[in-house]
Structure 1
Amino acid sequence: MNTQQDLSKAFLYPALITVSILLIPLIAMQFSENVIWTVSDFIFAGLLILSCSLTYTLVTKKTTTVAYRVATGFALLTGLFLIWSNLAVGLIGSEDNEFNLLYFLVIGVGVMGAFIAKFKASGLKYTLFAMAAAQFIITIVALFTGMAEVPDSSVYEILAVNGFFITLFVVAGMLFQYAADEEKSNLSADFD
């Protein structure tokens, strides 16, 4: 019975967060003709936010360090923002440009790396640095394959948008480095 209550509680907060965030565009649609969401937009956004929130809840459930919680939240929000902006407007040209599918490789690197690292901060720092490297490689490929010539895209935009995400992934990696150092110092303090 206690396990069922724990699962219900673990699901409750992410569900409340998801509903709260989805209320923003729902309310905005009532007052502005510029905000146009379909039912499928709400469903997809809800699933994306809920999965991100649930992942945070499950991954940080057993940790006691604030640094690990902050690093995890920062990394998940960065990944969520990458997916969201890529699907909404596209990072190269419009959201319909097939080149944008490459950005899902960055998320794939993160998911695989997290499991390989067993969600430990010392391994997750390398995962986030690998995600930044993957984003960098995609940027270079975009520039050398003429993606700057695509409508709604330029060299400056490609460098700025990708540089922004690369920076966020590097910062998340540094936060995990800090969390790993904090865990190590807590462990050594326990042995003293």
Structure 2
Amino acid sequence: MALTKSILRVALATGLLLLIPLTAKLFLADMAWSLGDFVAAGILLFGAGLTFVLIARMGDNTAYRLAVGVAVAAGLLLVWANLAVGLVGSEDNPVNLLYGGVLLVALIGAIVARFRPLGMSNAMFAAALTYAVVTVVALSIWTPPSATAEPSVGMVNVVGANAAFAAIWVVSGWLFRRASATRSTVGQRLA
């Protein structure tokens, strides 16, 4: 499929996804999205879709493309959750800025690996490890609120949610590792 056609599909999918909160805003009084929220969501969704399209084209098997999808989803969810509610405390907690390091590790690792499956696997595992380290550092800085201030935010919730997010990076790394094994097997048969 041509790159232009793929980009148009990403733009169309972004627009269709944004119709969901727009419809909710029209019919639900509690829907508090502003124009800025729609713009931010559009940029995040389109950026994630474009990233997937550009990187997935570099792979030659389904495992690679799936791994790219999982990695892009992990990055999207990390940014979205951090902007919406925060990963540690509320979205206004400055300690949440540390999670930008996870994205940097994944991005720099992918570039250094030249988007090759084995290197991408290592980059995603490094991102998962960075995620765990950032969570430990963030939790050592952050003091959980009292039960009366934010009863829904507790240490168990924070640790559980962050463990789930780190696991997504691990799944991506595992899929890239599988893509690497598949690719090397194909290369050996052709040689």
Superposed pair shares fold, TM > 0.5: yes
Aligned to 2:37: 41
Aligned to 2:71: 75
Aligned to 1:185: 185
2: CA distance, partners of 1:183 / 1:13: 28
State whether structure 2 residue 4 is matched by structure 1 residue 8. Answer: yes
- The amino acid that maps onto 2:121 is K
Distance 1:94 1:63, change over 3 A: same
Aligned partner of 2:144 among 145, 148, 157:
148
1: CA distance, partners of 2:5 / 2:120: 26
Q: Does the aligned pair in 2 maintain the 1:110–1:131 contact within 8 Å? A: yes
- The amino acid that maps onto 2:165 is F
- Provide the secondary structure at the position in 1 that maps to 2:144: helix
Aligned to 2:97: 101
Moved more, 55-64 or 36-45: 55-64
1:7 deviation in Å? 4.1
- The amino acid that maps onto 1:118 is R
Aligned to 1:134: 130
For residues 97-138 of structure 1, give each alpha carbon's deviation from its aligned partner in whole angstroms, at most 9, with x where no partner exists: 101111111111111111111111100111111111111111
- Provide the secondary structure at the position in 1 that maps to 2:42: helix
- The amino acid that maps onto 1:181 is A
Aligned partner of 1:89 among 85, 89, 101:
85
Distance 1:22 1:90, change over 3 A: same
Moved more, 168-177 or 153-162: 153-162
- The amino acid that maps onto 1:109 is V
Q: Equivalent residues in 2 for 1:154-173 (5 A)? A: 154-173=154-173
Q: Does the aligned pair in 1 maintain the 2:98–2:138 contact within 8 Å? A: no
Aligned partner of 1:114 among 110, 114, 122:
110
- Provide the secondary structure at the position in 1 that maps to 2:33: coil
Moved more, 26-35 or 91-100: 26-35
1: CA distance, partners of 2:25 / 2:97: 29
Distance 1:147 1:187, change over 3 A: farther
Q: Does the aligned pair in 1 maintain the 2:88–2:142 contact within 8 Å? A: no
| Identity %, equivalent residues | 37
Q: Does the aligned pair in 2 maintain the 1:142–1:148 contact within 8 Å? A: no
Aligned to 1:20: 16
State whether structure 2 residue 50 is matched by structure 1 residue 54. Answer: yes
2: CA distance, partners of 1:176 / 1:6: 24
State how many pairs are aligned. Answer: 187
Gaps of 5+ in 1: none
For residues 55-96 of structure 1, give each alpha carbon's deviation from its aligned partner in whole angstroms, at most 9, with x where no partner exists: 111111243301101000011001101100110011111101
1:149 deviation in Å? 4.3
Moved more, 161-170 or 27-36: 27-36
Gaps of 5+ in 2: none
